[in-house]
Amino acid sequence: MTQEILLGAEAVALGAVHAGLSSAYSYPGTPASEVLEYLVRASDGGQAFLARWSVNEKVAYEEALGASFAGKRALVSFKHVGLNVAADPFMNSALTGANGGLVVVSADDPGMHSSQNEQDSRYYAEFAKIPCFEPANHQEAYDMTREAFDVSERFGLPVMVRLVTRLSHSRSSVSTREARPQNKLHYGRAKDWTLLPSNARRRFKELLARQPEVSEYAATAPWNQLRLHDGNRRLGVVVSGVAVNYFHEAAAGLSGLSSFLKVGVYPLPEALVRQLVEHVESILVIEEGYPFIEKSLKGLFGLCGKPLHGKLDGTLRATGELEPDLVRSALGLEPVAMKAAGGFPLPGRPPQLCAGCPHADTFKALTKSLEGFEKTNVFSDIGCYTLGALPPYNAVQTCVCMGASVGMAKGGAEAGVYPSVAVIGDSTFAHSGITPLLSAAAANTDMTVIILDNGTVAMTGGQPSFGTGEGLLRLIEGCGVAEQHIRTIEPLPKNHARNIELLREEISYHGLSVVVAVRECLVEGRKKRS
Ligand code: SF4
């Protein structure tokens, strides 16, 4: 056994390696990127196992599923909204089942530190009817991921490990164990993997039939712990994930030991919940994310007459991250007195593009080129360039999800927006901007797409881009965009006037045009040259 200081995301990655991981795939996104980054470093250039960035989360999931079908242990990781992109193979893989262990790491971002929403991945696990681990700390992140592979092979199902930002991005000491060997290539029942209706119906019945066994596992797993105490029967607490730490810290201030159920693996252990409910007068649910457990309890025990507290009745706030003082307050305790750090009147530091970022020059030229048009709209996408929505640029008006800008610009143009402009990065274009461009090219929609080609996935730390350089230009042409309306600019201050002129020409053209703004990300350029 050795000790390592690891991020929560890295503890998951190392747990996977020690579980005999053969293949890992991911698309970068905060707070999940560090899982694959660690694996890429640990993979010894692919000698030890394969760790590879994918073009998007759906592809990553399918690659991992293919490895699982081949009998190998595979991991796929992404942020919570990445699971939306991968939802199709994810849901269907619950029916096909896994052969080699298949672990899905979905990292939620309560509080939306770097996300468009704070959806809770536990609902997806329940939706697909697969087990879900929710580690409370770094040690559990390592141990649970190891076990998740065993559970996946035992039940023949994909298994989810749910992370949240606080765990993924904090460091702690982890005790590691000996690595197990990788699986040998072995195929399972190929018939199960062909979801023709006749097979799919059979597989869905089999998935439902397996549920009692899965529930039995969760009910007896050591990750779910019930502690009944007679000292304080007024309140029983159901607590999960990182909230376990806040609860234990606050519970030291309660008079009399509180009874509690710590939930670490789902399906929810109903028998343990029942025992807790019978033992106490009221229940408080403390969980990070949506009121997932709380809603289940309302369904299970809504008629038993005992008060249920949590996010649904306002005892805890329903949005944002939990905080130790919020948990103290929910337990009826005063907040911990803190000293204000006085004497340092620091100015606010809102996020902004790096000084000299190529996107800034593109936005300046774009804004200038749109002067004089009345009903214009600039549909943007997800990347560093989303900051173009803020001052001093105020250059874009939307940001919804990966790749959405192109489809929205098409819909806007067809509804009468003129000029209709989409702004999208090279990696986001490869992720999911290509298909709406195919659609716009087929219709020769009156719109302009600006692809910001800085050669990398800059926002998440410089992972490789799948749609950059000459290949990107060929991709655009292959989508069916007329060659004379595929133009490039170099966003530099010295080219400002020329860039405005070219953008105005293409924006004024009544048909589909694509302008590629080519200039390397400054940060990645510096890294390469250092
Ligand atoms: S990381 Fe690169 S793309 Fe992002 S703001 Fe900085 S220079 Fe621009």
Q: What is the pLDDT of residues 28-49, one digit of tens each?
A: 999 999 999 999 999 999 899 9
Joined tokens for residue 482: 């007329």
Q: How confident is the model at residue 298 (pLDDT cuts 50, 70, 90)?
A: confident
Contact (Cβ atoms closer than 8 angstroms) between residue 145 and residue 16: yes
- If you measure from the C-alpha of residue 31 to the centroid of ligand 1, how many angstroms do you get, rounded to a whole number? 18
Q: Looking up tokens 């649910």, which residue turns up?
A: 285
**Measured over all CA atoms, what is the biggest interatomic distance in the chain, rounded to whole angstroms?**
79
Query: Is 354 a pocket residue for ligand 1 (Cβ < 6 Å)?
Result: yes
- Is the pLDDT confidence value at 370 over 90? yes
Average pLDDT estimate for 211-223: 97
Question: How many angstroms separate the Cα of 131 from the Cα of each of 100, 124, 316, 472?
Answer: 16, 10, 27, 40
- If you measure from the C-alpha of residue 459 to the centroid of ligand 1, how many angstroms do you get, rounded to a whole number? 7
**pLDDT digits 0-9 by tens, 505-519:** 999 999 999 999 999
Whose Cα sits closest to atom 8 in ligand 1? 357
Whose Cα sits closest to atom 6 in ligand 1? 354
Q: Residue 530's pLDDT is what?
A: 86
CA triple 335-339-343, angle to 5 deg: 145
Q: Residue 301's pLDDT is what?
A: 58
Q: Residue 39's pLDDT is what?
A: 98
Q: How confident is the model at residue 453 (pLDDT cuts 50, 70, 90)?
A: very high
Rounded to the nearest integer, the mean pLDDT of the chain is: 95
- Is the pLDDT confidence value at 303 over 60? no
- If you measure from the C-alpha of residue 83 to the centroid of ligand 1, how many angstroms do you get, rounded to a whole number? 26
Q: Residue 302's pLDDT is what?
A: 61
Q: Residue 363's pLDDT is what?
A: 98
Residue 56 exposed, middle or buried by CB count within 10 Å (0-12, 13-18, 19+) = buried
Pairing of β 463-464 and β 456-457: antiparallel
Question: Ligand 1: which of 30, 33, 359, 526 to mutate, judged by most atoms within 8 Å of the beta carbon?
Answer: 359
- If you measure from the C-alpha of residue 492 to the centroid of ligand 1, how many angstroms do you get, rounded to a whole number? 14
Q: Is the previous residue joined to 267 through a cis bond, with omega within 30 degrees of 0?
A: yes
pLDDT above 70 coverage of the chain, percent: 99
Query: Is 457 a pocket residue for ligand 1 (Cβ < 6 Å)?
Result: no
Closest atom of ligand 1 to 522 CA is 7
Question: Ligand 1: which of 364, 382, 384 to mutate, judged by most atoms within 8 Å of the beta carbon?
Answer: 384
Average pLDDT estimate for 198-214: 97
Query: Is 353 a pocket residue for ligand 1 (Cβ < 6 Å)?
Result: yes
Query: Is 522 a pocket residue for ligand 1 (Cβ < 6 Å)?
Result: yes
Q: Looking up tokens 């018939």, which residue turns up?
A: 191
How far apart are alpha carbons 407 and 413 in whole angstroms? 10
- Is the pLDDT confidence value at 344 over 80? no
Average pLDDT estimate for 193-209: 96
How far apart are alpha carbons 303 and 308 in whole angstroms? 11
Average pLDDT estimate for 397-405: 96
How many other β-carbons are positioned within 10 Å of the β-carbon of residue 364? 19
Residue 320 exposed, middle or buried by CB count within 10 Å (0-12, 13-18, 19+) = exposed
Query: Is 458 a pocket residue for ligand 1 (Cβ < 6 Å)?
Result: yes
Contact (Cβ atoms closer than 8 angstroms) between residue 123 and residue 86: no
3-state secondary structure (DSSP) of residue 320: coil
Q: pTM of the predicted model, to two decimals?
A: 0.96
- If you measure from the C-alpha of residue 348 to the centroid of ligand 1, how many angstroms do you get, rounded to a whole number? 20
- If you measure from the C-alpha of residue 220 to the centroid of ligand 1, how many angstroms do you get, rounded to a whole number? 49
Contact (Cβ atoms closer than 8 angstroms) between residue 266 and residue 134: yes
Closest atom of ligand 1 to 521 CA is 2
> Over the Cα atoms of the chain, what is R_g?
26
User: In sequence order, what E strands does 12-101 have?
Assistant: 21-26, 50-53, 73-79
Q: Residue 345's pLDDT is what?
A: 79
Q: Is the previous residue joined to 419 through a cis bond, with omega within 30 degrees of 0?
A: yes
Q: Which residue has the higher pLDDT, 24 or 230?
A: 24
Q: How confident is the model at residue 339 (pLDDT cuts 50, 70, 90)?
A: confident
Question: Ligand 1: which of 451, 456, 523 to mutate, judged by most atoms within 8 Å of the beta carbon?
Answer: 523
Question: How many angstroms separate the Cα of 207 from the Cα of each of 53, 83, 128, 210, 212?
Answer: 31, 21, 9, 5, 10
Query: Is 389 a pocket residue for ligand 1 (Cβ < 6 Å)?
Result: no
Q: Residue 505's pLDDT is what?
A: 97
Q: How confident is the model at residue 348 (pLDDT cuts 50, 70, 90)?
A: confident
**pLDDT digits 0-9 by tens, 312-323:** 999 999 999 999
CA triple 338-342-344, angle to 5 deg: 135
Query: Is 479 a pocket residue for ligand 1 (Cβ < 6 Å)?
Result: no
Average pLDDT estimate for 139-158: 98
